[in-house]
Amino acid sequence: MPNLLSRGLFSLFFGGRRKPLASLPGPPPGILGNIGDFLGAQPWDVCARYARTYGPVAVTWLGPSPALVLNDPTLIHEVLETRRLEFEKGNIGDQIRHSVTDDTPFIAQQGEDWARKHAMDPLAQPWTPTWQAAQVEPLRAAILESVEALLQQPSIDLTPTLRKLTFDAFCVATVGEKLPTSVYDDFMLLAAAADARIQAKLPLKFVSPPKGFADAKERFYGLFLDKVRAARKNPAPHRVDLMSWTLREMPQLDDGVHAHLLGGFFFGGVFSSSTTLVGAFHQLNKYPATEERLALESAALAQGPLTLERLKDAPWGEAVAYEALRILPAVRIFLRRTPPTPTRLAEVTLPPGTTLMISNQHLHRDPSHWTDPETFAPERWLDGGAARNPHGSGHFFPFGRGPRACVAGDFAMVYLRTALATVSARARIHVDSTEPFEEGFFFGVVRPQGVTGKLVPRQQQTLHPPTGAPPPPAVESA
């Protein structure tokens, strides 16, 4: 909390700006506003703390400019859905455009720009669900190959390990094969360059790209362009990867744009999907009965080729994925900006360009909505639980809300369920500590820190208790 002098100076210089927002609660600002709240703390933790302290809408000051912190499902619905055209996505476009290209809908301007990019996104087509269903077995095979290699390692750091496993699986889903490690290195360099801009404390013109950025970018997107051109020359009707499928369904799509969208797939999904897996395996270690139930279900699935139909008969894996997305959502903060004219929201008039901070951290654990919210309890998603809280609803939006929610949310669910089932059938991921891990931030996504462990092959373990007692009950032990 800023001291009296600092608060007095803020009132002296900027008091007039507070008047129109006086009806909203929030921390008292000092001469630098409430910037101090955000130093050394993750922004989603600050948003959750504001929810507990000030309620569903709070005003905070970033220097002399106000920002609204929204933890109210109705207002969030307004900003992300009904009035979404008024609110652009902060300055994420300027931060990541150099790395992800301008063709991705992720950084499109609301309205016509987004509609045009969304319409030509292979992930938003009527045939996308059929493509998705065809990925289950290729993803399983790719993940299993990675698991076999990881079983040879005496110890792993889960975050980079599952990130690489996810990257490799996504290579198979997008272009039908794993790609050399040098491609992963280029991807990580481009992601680090974007992250440096996202987290920059200086104006972006002072943030230089890392050494080798231009070459890495040319190689990374050039590789996808070469692959698209080769596949166009030699069509292979049996191939199910996204590139081949897109060439069949959307032959008019420009090869350059196609290559950019294939490359963009990795930025959209690798960090978020692998972070979710780290969270899931960490929680599974904490709740052994839950883990055992997943292992049993996965062992049954491993008896034959994996299909979406068979995954649908495996509700525990889906429930584990949902619960990981609830309790440890990988994308926890969504920024929006009000238009360049004064805007009414939350019954106040906000100055042009006001930042809106939306986080799912508090709502995903809101005790007025969830029973026992701090417990990892996948059973809450069974027996109609998933229908009561569909993703994109007021208290569960790991993929965002409204038309700009994740275009690949359904694919991500297919991937998470396939990965959980494949890993759990073959190995147990043992983590060294089930204490909450530290969370960093990378490329706009939560980055679990220091979660180490190892893979233990399943056949060396007992899936059923040795006494011959029945398998553990569905309810998790706290």
Please indicate if the annotation marks 171 as binding a ligand.
no
DSSP 398-425: TT-SSTTS-TTHHHHHHHHHHHHHHHHH
State the Cα–Cα distance between residues 362 and 385, nearest whole angstrom: 19
* Contact by Cβ (8 Å): 274, 331: no
Residue 276 touches ligand HEM, criterion: CB under 6 A: yes
- The window from 102-110, 142-150, 232-240, 364-372 that contacts ligand HEM (CB under 6 A) reads 102-110
In degrees, to the nearest 5, what angle opens at C-alpha 268 toward C-alphas 266 and 274? 75
CB nearer ligand HEM, residue 123 or residue 194: 123
- Cβ-based neighbour number of residue 460 at 10 Å: 8
Residue 435 in tokens? 């204490």
Of the pair 30, 276, the CB lying nearest ligand HEM is at 276
- E strands along 64-215, which residues? 65-70, 156-157
**Hey, which residues between 309 and 338 contact ligand HEM (CB under 6 A)?**
330-331, 334
Judged by beta carbon, residue 133 or residue 299, the one nearer ligand HEM is 133
Which of residues 358 and 377 has its CB atom nearest to ligand HEM in the complex? 358
* Cβ(362)–Cβ(48) below 8 Å: yes
Nearer to ligand HEM, 33 or 398 (CB): 398
CB of 360 to ligand HEM, least distance (A): 8
Question: Virtual CA dihedral for 30, 31, 35, 39, nearest 10 degrees?
Answer: -90
172 binds ligand HEM (CB under 6 A): no
- What are the residue ranges of helices labelled H in 176-314? 181-198, 213-233, 242-249, 255-286, 288-301, 308-312
Nearer to ligand HEM, 31 or 412 (CB): 412
Give the binding range for ligand HEM (CB under 6 A) out of 60-68, 104-112, 241-249, 287-295: 104-112
Q: Does 187 bind ligand HEM (CB under 6 A)?
A: no
* Residue 420 Cβ vs ligand HEM, minimum distance, rounded to whole Å: 12
- 198-237 residues in contact with ligand HEM (CB under 6 A) are none
Task: Determine the residue with CB nearest ligand HEM.
Answer: 269
At a CB cut-off of 8 Å and minimum separation 6, what does 462 contact? Answer: none
Nearer to ligand HEM, 172 or 331 (CB): 331
CB of residue 106 vs ligand HEM: minimum separation in angstroms? 4
Q: Which of 69, 123, 134, 175 binds ligand HEM (CB under 6 A)?
A: 123
**Tokens coding 43:** 């922004």
Contact between 274 and 165 under an 8 Å Cβ cutoff? The reply is yes
E strands, 20-155, are 57-62, 65-70
Q: How far is the CB of 238 from ligand HEM (least distance, A)?
A: 24
The 10 Å Cβ neighbour count of residue 226 is 12
Q: CA 135, CA 170: separation in Å to the nearest integer?
A: 10
Question: In angstroms, rounded to a whole number, what is the distance separating the alpha carbons of residues 146 and 169?
Answer: 9
String marking each residue 256-275 x if it binds ligand HEM according to CB under 6 A: ---------x--xx--xx--
Give whichever of 195 and 292 is closer to ligand HEM, judged by the CB atom: 195
Among 7, 18, 98, 118, binds ligand HEM (CB under 6 A): 118
Taking the complex as a whole, the smallest distance from the CB of residue 35 to ligand HEM amounts, in Å, to 23
Within residues 355-414, the interface with ligand HEM by CB under 6 A covers 398-400, 404-408, 411-412
Q: Give the nearer residue to ligand HEM in terms of CB position, either 331 or 451.
A: 331
Instruction: Give the span between the Cα atoms of 257 and 251, in whole angstroms.
Output: 12
Number of residues that bind ligand HEM (CB under 6 A): 25
Tell me which residue of 171, 173, 158, 178 sits closest to 428, measured CA to CA.
158
Instruction: Report, in Å, the least distance between residue 155 CB and ligand HEM.
Output: 25
CB of 404 to ligand HEM, least distance (A): 4
Q: Measured from the CB of residue 441, what is the shortest distance to ligand HEM in angstroms?
A: 14
Q: What pairs with residue 343 in β-bridges? A: 350
Go through 153-187 and write b for each residue having 16 or more CB atoms within 10 A of its CB, e for each that does not: eeebebbebbbbbbbbbbbbbbbbebbeeebbebb
Q: Show contacts with ligand HEM in window 30-49 (CB under 6 A).
A: none
- Please state the closest distance from residue 169 (CB atom) to ligand HEM, in A: 10
For the record, the structure tokens of 238 come out as 């049996």
Least distance between ligand HEM and beta carbon 336 (Å): 8
- The Cα–Cα gap between 472 and 115 comes to 49
- Give the residue numbers of the binding site: 406
- Give the residue numbers of the binding site for heme: 406
Binding site for ligand HEM (CB under 6 A): 89, 104-106, 118, 123, 265, 268-269, 272-273, 276, 330-331, 334, 398-400, 404-408, 411-412
